[in-house]
Structure formats: structure tokens, C-alpha cells
Amino acid sequence: MQAFKSIIVVSTFLIINPVLAQNSYNYPPTEKQNISDAYFGTTISDPYRWLEDDKSTKTEAWVKAQNVCTQKYLSQISQRDKIKARLTELWNFNKQSTPFKKGNLFFCYKNNGLQNQSVFFIKKTIKDEGQILLDPNTLSTDGTVSLSGVEISKNGKTLAYGISKAGSDWVEIHFKDITTKKDLPDTLKWVKFSGMSWKGNGIYYSRYDAPTASALSQKNTFHKVYYHQLGTTQDRDILVYEDKQNADYNFGANVTDDENYLALYISQTTSGNKLLLKDLTKQNSPFITIADDFENENTIIDNVGSTFYMRTNYNAPKYKLVQFTIDIPERVSWKTILSQTNNLLEGVRLSNKKIIANYLQDVTSKLMCYSLGGAFEKEIKLPGLCKLNAFNTDYTYNFATYSIAQFNAPEQIYYLDCKTWQSKLIFKPTTKFDSDNYTTERLFFSSKDGTKIPLFITHKKGLVLSENTPAFVYGYGGFNISITPGFGIDKAVFLEAGGIYCVINMRGGGEYGEDWHKAGTKCKKQNVFDDFIAGCEFLVSKKYTSYGKIAIHGRSNGGLLIGAVMTQRPDICKVALPTVGVLDMLRFHLFTIGRAWSVDYGNSENKEEFDCLVKYSPLHNVAKNRYPATMVLTGDHDDRVVPAHSFKFAAALQEKNESQNPMLIRIDVNAGHGAGKPTAKQIDEFGDMWSFVFYHLKMEL
């Protein structure tokens, strides 16, 4: 059954809340229009829909006026300059990504501290300092052009790299000769949600046709896979795969390390994928189906000749490793190499003819070594409550490089000898944040329905927690994504000032596998909000903090979390920071890639799912109430979660809030969803965010 929708425009008028007129915030007046939609007999008003038009001069003027209002408020916070100065000091430390080998060379990213974008380096050995291969800081004057991915040809001679402008998901692919360090003339446009996978003297990649309307908000349909041969123009690229019957399908193409096979991943949403394989050694060979539905996640790990190793959650919600051959690919022939355990099998690599598997055990990493047949050999010890991040190796390599992340220390890089299985620390950044003076503990609490939920708390060693302790509580809870230990240098200012940084691992994420994920999706989404609320209540019940000392924060799907929590329980915190959030749950599927989120959220065009969505949609649950001090954060070039979500939500809060707390929106101009944001913009954004938090939680730096 489809929803019947009628849009009625009767008149327009300006709204100024009389309560707000009595205070000093002076919000810009926001025009309201009498627009409504009918969903299965229920009429839903949408008075701020005109803010969805990102190209209109009226929306542009509203953005400017709101930013003036917000900056005027923030400029009166006395600690703002001090906070930004300390953030700049803390940010200024050497950073490096985990090196990887291609051909006879090593590659990694480096940042000397305050560079807007990290620089891509080439190294002859893993120990040498290396030379600059590509510096994205030279591609723009303000640092808003970023690298969105790199891929080195198998012979190590050519670099393919994507660039993104102003944080957009749209990418241009360029090529560089590694020996001469000169750019090649090839340019590939309108690339989105794509890898770059080398085969011979060219790459497989995915793109859309050029948009006919707004590139930042137009719905993305009919993804296609192409092969580009170096030295040719894009119009001569070979169409490898498309589906004219399914506009919403997305495709990812990946060539195996031996360049003999092409794996094609087909997705319709953010969960589950079909999987096809093609033998590239045979001319005009067909695609062979490995998985023919979207019910499970299936990822080729590696191959040894025609034998493939695949991580899958088919009949294994916490994942297993299976083996099959290209000649007999059907599920009935899959041989289980690593069975599902009580822990989440998060990643697998083959190295030195062994299987290296990393597991999540209560949201912290464990690293194990097995024979190719699946026999356990040993555990590779990792330090404390940490998360294994990058793990770079190859089936034939006798070494690996990996990094570990913790809440209280920046990422560190290790070299693993895959003959002795001994690890050696090869990179540890030097910071002005004294990590040794801080500690992280993992706790568990019961949610509303009794489900046990993990909670990480980081704070100064010896800090005596009480009702007066400021707490910053972060959550995500969606899309099978695990929120694991990781260091955010911006959090250091909060920790230094005596705050506790708390991360709640709600259902909807991937921390305990697919069952945990599904328990927080569609009409079970309320579980996510209940988990977060219960986490805040737990902190207060333990006298670690109090409601008047809590700030809550989440990004993207986490922005939805904060929007839902603050509208359901405005008393749960003193400060709310919904950032680049999905806040209009009835129309998210109409923009860019939003329709792919329906697997987690449901869709308002389905009656049962509409009935669930409308109950928690933040925009549609803003009522006259006393809301916490709120700063909505977004970017005007966000083409993942379009900024209209935040625009409309902020306008509704400004209209209906009955407390004396500010309802502000900070709109980062020439910025997107977050990826590739230059250092200067990050420091500016976090400086404003922490200034807002410090002021309302009555903290001193």
C-alpha cells in the first residue's frame, strides 16, 4: 500500500515565538508555509519545506542570517578564544597512517600537525622518512579539496586517486606517474560510492550519469561499473555492469590481488549484498553468482588460485570464514574454516600463508592466528582496551603492519613479524596531551527491557566522580557500525577540564553482530533511544554526574539519536548537539542516497513503518517544551544527509522552545558531511562546540 500524498500551499507567514522575543537570542524570522502531506489518512504539516531547496537565494539568505545569530552568541563566551588556542596546541602533533606495500615500495599518509589535509608519501623502506608523492594542500587555497581514496597499480608504477571538493561525496579520479610524480591527463567525473581497482593498465570504478538538477540533493539512481584504460578519455570507458530494471542498486567492483578475478558487489541498502565473480583470465567469461540475495553480508577476503576465502554472516550473525572454489561456488559447497564464536569476527586477512582474524569481544579487539585449514595457532597480544584498525599485509608477505586505537591515546603503529609473530612499535606520536594521566574503564548497564549494554568512560586518573562532574555522552546506534575505542584529540580539552567522556554502544550498531544490529532497526529503532537514555540514567544513578551536567552528542545517524532523545526526554541533559543528523524521518529517502537507509529506518511509504517513524521523527516531535541548550551542526555542502534536515529541525526548535536556553544552528559553509574536512575548519567547529558545552555546563579550562 502506498501513501497518498497531497501537497497544499495556501499562504505564507513569518513566525516569531513570543517567549523568544523576550530574550536576547534574536533568531532570524523563518517563513512558514501551509504545506501538508497525507500519509494513510494522517495529515502531516511541513511548513519549512522551502528550506529543502539548496539552490534558492531565500535559503542562502536564511543560512547567512542564522550563522550571524549563532556567531554573535558564541562570540560572547569568554573562554572561546582560550579553548580554540588550546585545541590548536593539542592538534599540532605528528600523525601517520599505517604503511602498506605495493610493488617494491611503501606508502602512507603523514601530517606534520596543523596541515589541513594529510600528505601522501612514498617510502623505499618501512623505516625511512619517505618523499611526498601527493600533497592535497596544493589543490586548494582553503584546504577544502581532499583525497577520497588512493590505489596503487600492482607494479607500483601508477597512482589512482580521488579528490573531493568541499566534503562532497562526488569524486573526481585522477592518475599520477609514481616515478616522475607527474599527473597523467586522464580524469574521471561523476564518481560516487566507488572504489578504484587496478587490472593491468586501467581501473574498474563506479559512477552515475551526470545529474540534471542539484548535484547536492538530487536522488542518485542507476549506478554503473566501468573499466577505464589509461591514456583514453572517459567517454571511451567500457561499461562492465548495469541494471536497467533496478534504479536503486549500487555496485562495487574489486579485482583480486593476482588480478585474475573480478568480484562484483551489488547492494540495495546499507545491509546485505549480492556477490558475483568473473574470471578475467578468460575472454568474455560470464559473471558467476556466489550469493543471489541481499539477506547477508559477503566479502571476499583473498584467493589462492581458484580457491576463495570469504567472510559471511550467512547462518552466522557474528560472522564466519568460509572457503569455496570458482568451479563449485554454490552455498551448499561452502566449507567453514572459522566457525562463528561468541565474539564478532570483524576482519580477516591472509598473511605468510596463515589466517589472521580479529574479533571484537565486548567492543575491544582480539587478534588470532590460524592455519589455512582453520586450526588455532596463537593469540597475538594487543594492549588493553583497544581497537585494531588498519591491518596491512598479503598472502605472500612474511610481515604485516597494523595500528591500534584507544580512547585515551592517539593511534600507534606496529610491525608484526609473521614468522615469529612478535610485534614491534614503529610509530607513536608525540602530543601535548599526557595520555598516561588518563584511564578508560568498560562498564555495563541494563536498558529499559533488561538488555545488557556496554559503556566506556574515560577520565583523569584519580578523578573523584560526583553529581558535579561534567559528562559528555556520545552514541551512534545504527547501520551495523561498531563504535569502538578511538582517540579524538578534540575531546582532550574536555578531559583536561575534569570531564568524563562516555561512549554508549547501543543496539542498532554492529558490536555484537547482525542480531544486535536488527534489534535497533525499523520499528525496533526505539530500542536505540531507550539504550541511550538508560545509559544517561545509569551515570546519574551511580553519581558519576547529574542531568544538569550532561551534554549529548551524535553525528549523522547519531544526530538522529540526539534529536530523538532530546525531544522524548528534554530533561535528560543540559546540552544537546545533533550533528549532520537525519532528522526528517518521513522524507529522508527522497534525497541523494537516502533511500538506501530504509533497511535501517523503514520508509514512510509503508503504512506500518510510517506509524513507527512518525512517533520518533525528531522534526515531527518538536512540541512546545523546555528544551536543553541546543546547537544543531551541519554543512551547507552535505550531500549525504542533506542540510535541510538540520535547517527544518532548528527552525522548529526556535519556534516552539519554551525554555530560556538557546536553540542555535551552526552551518559550516563550503563543508560536507565530515569526510575530508580541513584541519582549520575542524578546529573552528570543535572550538565553537566546546565553547558552547563549557559555557552551559559551567566548566573552566
Alpha carbon distance 86, 427 (integer Å): 24
Band of residue 10 on the pLDDT scale cut at 50, 70, 90: very low
Could you tell me the three cell numbers for 441? 574503564
Contact 309, 302 (CB under 8 A): yes
> What digits encode the pLDDT tens for the residues 459-482?
999 999 999 999 999 999 999 999
Band of residue 640 on the pLDDT scale cut at 50, 70, 90: confident
- Please give the CATH topology (third level) of the domain spanning 453-697: Rossmann fold (3.40.50)
Active site residues: 556, 673
> What digits encode the pLDDT tens for the residues 73-82?
999 999 999 9
Band of residue 6 on the pLDDT scale cut at 50, 70, 90: very low
Alpha carbon distance 135, 118 (integer Å): 7
> What digits encode the pLDDT tens for the residues 338-397?
999 999 999 999 999 999 999 999 999 999 999 999 999 999 999 989 999 999 999 999
What percentage of residues in the chain have a pLDDT greater than 90? Answer: 86
pLDDT value at residue 699 = 98
Assign residue 625 a region (left: φ > 0; alpha: ψ between -120 and 50; beta: otherwise): beta
> Taking the CA of residue 269 as centre, how many other CA atoms within 13 Å lie in the half-sphere pointing to its CB?
19
- The residues that bridge with 626 in the sheet, in sequence order, are none
Q: Which residue has the higher pLDDT, 328 or 69?
A: 69
| Least confident piece of the model among 191-195, 321-325, 363-367 | 191-195
Q: Which residue has the higher pLDDT, 238 or 2?
A: 238
pLDDT value at residue 16 = 40
> What digits encode the pLDDT tens for the residues 592-619?
888 889 999 999 999 999 999 999 999 9
- E runs forming strands in 194-343: 197-199, 202-207, 224-229, 238-241, 250-255, 261-267, 274-279, 287-291, 298-304, 307-312, 320-325, 335-338
Q: What is the rounded radius of gyration, in angstroms, for the C-alpha atoms of the chain?
A: 25
Is the pLDDT reported for residue 235 higher than 70?
yes
Q: Which of 220, 217, 262, 223 is nearest to 239 (CA)?
A: 223
Kindly list the distances between the CA atom of residue 382 and the CA atoms of 365, 423, 459, in Å, as whole numbers in the listed order.
8, 9, 22
Contact 217, 639 (CB under 8 A): yes
Residue 456, SS3 per DSSP: strand
Alpha carbon distance 426, 123 (integer Å): 14
> What digits encode the pLDDT tens for the residues 549-587?
999 999 999 999 999 999 999 999 999 999 999 999 999
pLDDT value at residue 17 = 39
Alpha carbon distance 658, 661 (integer Å): 8
> What digits encode the pLDDT tens for the residues 256-268?
999 999 999 999 9
Is the pLDDT reported for residue 402 higher than 60?
yes
Is the pLDDT reported for residue 546 higher than 70?
yes
Average pLDDT, the chain: 93
Band of residue 146 on the pLDDT scale cut at 50, 70, 90: confident
| Least confident piece of the model among 267-271, 481-485, 529-533, 696-700 | 267-271
pLDDT value at residue 11 = 43
pLDDT value at residue 133 = 97
Q: Which residue has the cell 551511580?
A: 542
| Least confident piece of the model among 4-13, 427-436, 582-591, 671-680 | 4-13
| Least confident piece of the model among 166-175, 239-248, 427-436, 519-528 | 166-175
Q: Which of 560, 521, 531 is nearest to 455 (CA)?
A: 531
Q: Where are the domains of the chain?
A: 453-697
pLDDT value at residue 3 = 44
> What digits encode the pLDDT tens for the residues 428-460?
999 999 999 999 999 999 999 999 999 999 999
Is the pLDDT reported for residue 98 higher than 50?
yes
Alpha carbon distance 359, 266 (integer Å): 26
Band of residue 636 on the pLDDT scale cut at 50, 70, 90: confident
- The residues that bridge with 307 in the sheet, in sequence order, are 304, 325
Whole-structure pTM value = 0.92
> Taking the CA of residue 141 as centre, how many other CA atoms within 13 Å lie in the half-sphere pointing to its CB?
0
